[in-house]
Amino acid sequence: MALIGVFDSGVGGLSILDEALRQLPEHDYIYLADSINAPYGEKSSEWIASRSMELCQYLAARGCDAIMVACNTATAEAIAHIRNELSNIPIIGVEPGIKPAAMQSANGIVGVLATEATLKSDKFSALLATLPNCKFVKQAGAGLVPLIEAGQANGEETLELLAEHLEPIQDAGADTLVLGCTHYPFLRKAIRKLLGDSINLIDTSDAVVRQLKRKLEAQGKQLNDGDQGSIQFISSKDAELLHQMAHELMQSDLTERSTQSQLVSTFR
């Protein structure tokens, strides 16, 4: 059994944790939300890189066998540096799924909704350059993360703001939309309401967790013994609220695990 650290600027990485619990339920997890500093997407590259490093060092010091940087923004700005510093632990990042989107799009027009920092990053530009035959309509989702953090994923204000952000993507005729921020899978319902069922939504949580699985197998840490591991929820703002939001946002049933091993604490 392994201890897996999962971190995000806030509740977004819960979409990755949810998938990890589906595919790899037997491991123990620490979920670390830096909600006091969310959103990361409008902060400087230097700040994001240094804070992400600090949080990963904390997870490494807690004894994590692998760390998931469950944040596209932190991955774009910091993953190379983190991998360099913590070279003895597998560090798994998340990137906007523009490759699968380009492969799946029938008309070659793909919308990418992500944070400003992700869209401006060198890493994202390098990824885009590998796919010259597809038209990408990039849109920063300014203001969406704070609303999701406030538990308003399906609220009226969110729907209005989302409609504004999606308009250029819709106008361009995109048949595929990349959810390029781990908070955005929690907007699926709202997106479907606005764009209907025909648009193909791409998020990479499944692929990211499969990558984690491969890394754990390589370390001999893959068990599949049918047991359920524990989850610790840690927040820089309000761990009780994080725990409550995890229950609300995630599809995995946390009650079994929570009663056995729930530990809520605060990290600053």
Q: Which of 3, 6, 7, 8 binds ligand DGL (CB under 6 A)?
A: 8
Catalytic residue (choose from 56, 64, 134, 181): 181
229 binds ligand DGL (CB under 6 A): no
Q: Which of 7, 29, 31, 40 binds ligand DGL (CB under 6 A)?
A: 40
Question: Judged by CB, which is closer to ligand DGL: 39, or 97?
Answer: 39
Sole window of 36-44, 97-105, 163-171, 240-248 interacting with ligand DGL (rule: CB under 6 A): 36-44
Binding mask 63-92 for ligand DGL (x = CB under 6 A): --------xxx-------------------
Find where tokens 């499944």 sit. Answer: 206
Question: Judged by CB, which is closer to ligand DGL: 24, or 69?
Answer: 69
145 binds ligand DGL (CB under 6 A): yes
* Cα first-last separation, the chain: 28
Angstrom CA distances, 230 to 72, 181, 208, stand at 25, 26, 20
Sole window of 97-105, 180-188, 203-211, 245-253 interacting with ligand DGL (rule: CB under 6 A): 180-188
In the complex, what is the shortest distance from the CB of residue 219 to ligand DGL, in angstroms, rounded to a whole number? 26
**49 vs 204: CA distance, rounded Å:** 22
To the query of whether residue 181 is one of the catalytic residues in this protein, the response is: yes
Find where tokens 């899978």 sit. Answer: 185
**142 vs 217: CA distance, rounded Å:** 38
Positions in 107-126 near ligand DGL (CB under 6 A): 115, 118
To the query of whether residue 56 is one of the catalytic residues in this protein, the response is: no
In the complex, what is the shortest distance from the CB of residue 193 to ligand DGL, in angstroms, rounded to a whole number? 21
DSSP state of 187: G
Question: Judged by CB, which is closer to ligand DGL: 37, or 200?
Answer: 37
Residue 26 burial (CB count, 10 A): 16
Question: Judged by CB, which is closer to ligand DGL: 174, or 178?
Answer: 178
Q: Which of 5, 41, 90, 97 binds ligand DGL (CB under 6 A)?
A: 41
Coil, strand or helix at 33 = strand
64 burial level (CB within 10 Å; 0-12, 13-18, 19+):
buried
Contact between 175 and 108 (Cβ < 8 Å):
no
182 binds ligand DGL (CB under 6 A): yes
Residue 42 dihedral angles phi and psi, to the nearest 5°: -110, 10
Residue 237 burial (CB count, 10 A): 17
**Number of residues binding to ligand DGL, judged by CB under 6 A:** 17
Q: Which of 4, 20, 28, 39 binds ligand DGL (CB under 6 A)?
A: 39
**138 vs 116: CA distance, rounded Å:** 10
Sequence-distant (≥ 6) Cβ neighbours of residue 27 within 8 angstroms: 1, 2, 3, 4, 20, 216, 221, 229
Active-site residue set: 71, 181
Residues that bind ligand DGL (CB under 6 A): 8-10, 12, 38-41, 71-73, 115, 118, 145, 181-183
